[in-house]
Amino acid sequence: MNTPSPDDGRPADPSTSNASHPTLPAPRRVRPLVAFPSPRLHVVVPTHNRADLIVRCLGALCEQTVSDLHVVVVDDASDSAARETLLRWQDEHSDFNLSLFLNERNLGANPSRNMGVAFALSLIEDKRVGLVALLDNDSIAEPTWAENIVVPFDDDRVAAATGLVLDPDPPNVWTLAYKGTHRVVTRGPAHRMVSCNLCLRAEPLERFTFGEALSPNATTVGGAADTAVSGRSDEEGLYLKLKRAGYSVVSAPDAVVLHDHTYTARSFFKQAFRSGRAAARLVYRYRLAHRLDMAPLAAAYLTLVPAALLAPMLGAAPLLIPAMCFAAAVAAYLYNERSRKRKAFGEITRSFHVVLLYYHVRLAGYLLQHARFAFRVERPPRFDLASIRPRFTDQATTKAFADDRRRV
């Protein structure tokens, strides 16, 4: 399996492996590569347990309107029942172009994702034409997904296309509050990417891989991998690298998947806390400005104590400052729920109190992680985006990168 190239685009050193996992064991391949016709699109799906979901995911890929498709599944040390289900499915669908790898120990979503990507890249002869798509094991692709996700790549400057992610009817308020988080609905330039519905051109993907240090692998109390929370795949970091290199990232709203991920109260708040910590790691690693979505709520709490101390002397006027900051945060969250997540007014009414709790917990994770950096409890490697040599250079691209860096 090919070693992924480092972030700066220099050729990879075959004697070294991923910096986040210096001793990664090679996954075990289940069967030799079958002589299928060389496809243009390779789909990588990391999975751990949840056998019913990966079977649904693969079943949907079998029903695609295009046959020019190769699927790479990396099983990240699932339990014996889930692994047996996956092996049985492969045996029952021997005519389906599937490559299955088995990790002997749980490594996490991103290392598994990068393993599958590296294998897919090794099969692509023309990296300017070949494509690698990414799905989660709980992503159910519509029949025309593969046909539509490749359309934007007729433009040579397009490095990535992110599709439309829909959510099933939420079974509880926790899942309803998270509904729409992965939606990218605009057509044309995309301001972010989502790994549960993403396609990348092989050439830039060979140059840049998903980071594996932004969020350690989630585990349960017993130490097993925790699939109740979504893996943090560093889409934002990869997005910044692609934009810095001058590539275009676009949305493909006709490429639709159903993302079937249910939350409980525990997994919802765990997701919020880990999301905040991952956002802080992103800011630290890439030397970005602090997250704008954190600012109003953080300002409300930072000004609350001074305002409370001044209130006995100046009356209620000082309290207007934290109140206005909190009102700005609420307004921003409402805008996000309606305009970006596309929730109905009834859905917002039923779940907004939980959404507010989510942002409080997320802010706590964000501040805690920055405190760990400040006190040198944790010092992950940093990366200078300016070190990336642009593939395309023009004034418009430079301005777009600067705008995206401030936005992220």
347-400 confidence digits (pLDDT tens): 999 999 999 999 999 999 999 999 999 999 998 889 899 999 887 655 444 455
The CATH homologous superfamily to which domain 28-263+388-407 belongs is: Spore Coat Polysaccharide Biosynthesis Protein SpsA; Chain A (3.90.550.10)
Of 64, 193, 72, 61, the C-alpha closest to 122 is 72
Angle between helix 320-335 and 345-374 (nearest 10)? 120
| Average pLDDT, integer, range 275-303 | 93
| Average pLDDT, integer, range 192-205 | 94
Percentage of residues in the chain having pLDDT higher than 90 = 69
Of 390, 341, 186, the C-alpha closest to 332 is 341
- pTM for the full predicted model: 0.83
26-58 confidence digits (pLDDT tens): 566 666 555 455 688 999 999 999 899 999 999
Query: pLDDT at residue 217 above 60?
Result: no
pLDDT for the residue numbered 39:
82
Please classify residue 227 by burial: count the beta carbons closer than 10 Å to its beta carbon, then call 0-12 exposed, 13-18 middle and 19+ buried.
buried
Mean pLDDT (the chain, rounded): 84
Q: Which residue has the higher pLDDT, 369 or 2?
A: 369
Do 367 and 298 touch, CB atoms closer than 8 A?
yes
Q: How many CB atoms lie within 10 A of CB 314?
A: 11
Where in the chain do CATH 3.90.550.10 domains reside? 28-263+388-407
Q: How many CB atoms lie within 10 A of CB 48?
A: 25
55-65 confidence digits (pLDDT tens): 999 999 999 99
12-30 confidence digits (pLDDT tens): 333 333 333 333 455 666 6
pLDDT for the residue numbered 150:
95
